[in-house]
Amino acid sequence: MSPVLSQTPPQWEKNTGKVKDSLGLIHLLTSQSNFSPFHNTSPCACGKCLSEDDVWFTQRFNKSVEPFLSAKHSLSEAAFRWWKLEKRNFIYYSATVDNLFKTFPATPDVEASSDRCRTCAVVGNSGNLNGSRYGPLIDFHDVIIRMNTGRTKGYEADVGKRTTHHVMYPESAVDLDNTTHLVLVPFKIQDLEWLIKAFTTGFSGASYMPVKSHIKANKDLVMVVNPAFMRYVHDTWLEKKGRYPSTGFMALVLALHICDEVSVFGYGADKDGNWSHYFEILKNKHLRTGPHAGTHEYDVIQQLHKNQIIHFFKGW
């Protein structure tokens, strides 16, 4: 872990409240990293584990749902019928998954965290990150999850420099460095085919927008979100609201399953109710939250924060 910040950076002076919150959390994370297995009886190494003493949370959190596809895990036909957005059948899907694991790891690279407190920052792309100066706090976490076309270059002071996991789907894909996990959220069989071909022969299929033919990333760090997990997020966490969960909300629930302590940044609509991004000027002023139940997703995030399940940094 990084050392505790010993003093307030000059650029944070205008944001005193955020600085106090940020430094306070860094102190908390650091104190929890001094973990002794001889003085802890919790199921995780944190001072307070995610699932402890919260009925609202435990009614929604289902640890038995596998977050990622693996060669050992098979999808039920019921989950497949909910998930698929094309005519091809379950047999074709199964053959595609078998082919997938000929190229990528058969077991997802998920680190066990039984002897330490694994801290995760989930970084959305909301425009409320502009001027937030959350960068150092974000970089302090063990795992840093970004998504879609989110970038760090030129925005380091607000969003940080480090990325350990980048969540995407083919239409939002970006190249990654050799140390970052590519986490694919597949919405159709073609997305699985894209992943295979983007690393091998090149993808030439059509979609509703241009898709990268090849992608630069470490194939040994590829992870694919389980369609059954996507259904669980939609049905249990979002109560079937919206057509399907946003990538950002999927990443948040994913973090709850693989992390001991979760901090959330860059979520929420702008003053006009649109999901604008910190790295671009929104052209469609009537976007709102697209096909997603954006208001409900935000309410769930705020409830998680209120119940002290996550740390939610709202920006602005």
Residue pLDDT, tens place only, 109-146: 887 556 778 999 999 998 889 899 999 999 999 999 99
Name the CA dihedral angle for 232, 314, 183, 255, rounded to a multiple of 10 degrees. -50
Lowest-confidence region among 6-20, 40-54, 204-218: 6-20
* Token reading at 81: 């019928």
Known binding residues for substrate: 87, 125, 148, 208, 244, 248, 268, 277, 292
Given a cut of 70, is residue 285 above it in pLDDT?
no
Lowest-confidence region among 85-89, 102-106, 159-163, 289-293: 289-293
260 closest CA partner among 17, 49, 107: 49
CA-to-CA separations, 31 to 25, 26, 36, in angstroms, rounded: 10, 9, 11
Residues in CB range of 16: below 8 A, 6 or more apart: none
Q: How far is 181 from 282, CA to CA, in rounded Å? A: 28
- Measured at the CA of 79, the angle between CA 209 and CA 68, to 5 degrees, comes to 75
Lowest-confidence region among 36-40, 172-176, 243-247: 36-40
> Could you tell me if residue 305 is left (phi over 0), alpha (psi between -120 and 50 degrees) or otherwise beta?
alpha
Helical H runs in 177-261?
189-198, 227-232, 247-258
Known binding residues: 87, 125, 148, 208, 244, 248, 268, 277, 292
Lowest-confidence region among 60-74, 108-122, 175-189, 289-303: 289-303
**13-313 in CATH: which number?**
3.90.1480.20
44 closest CA partner among 115, 143, 121, 120: 115
DSSP reduced 3-state for 156: helix
Given a cut of 80, is residue 50 above it in pLDDT?
no
Whether 134 is catalytic: no
Whether 244 is catalytic: yes
Longest dimension (CA), the chain: 59
Name the CA dihedral angle for 9, 151, 237, 104, rounded to a multiple of 10 degrees. -130
How far the first Cα of the chain sits from its last, in Å, is: 28
Name the CA dihedral angle for 118, 3, 166, 258, rounded to a multiple of 10 degrees. 0
Q: How far is 192 from 56, CA to CA, in rounded Å? A: 34
Give the single-character DSSP code of 187.
S
Helical H runs in the chain?
16-33, 55-58, 77-83, 90-103, 135-140, 156-159, 189-198, 227-232, 247-258, 294-306
Average of pLDDT values for 245-262? 94
- Catalytic position from the list 93, 134, 232, 244: 244
Check residues 26 and 168 and name the one with the higher pLDDT: 168
CA 217, distance to chain mean position in Å, is 18
Contact assessment for residue 125 and residue 268, using Cβ atoms and an 8 Å cutoff = no
Given a cut of 50, is residue 33 above it in pLDDT?
no
- Catalytic position from the list 166, 181, 257, 292: 292
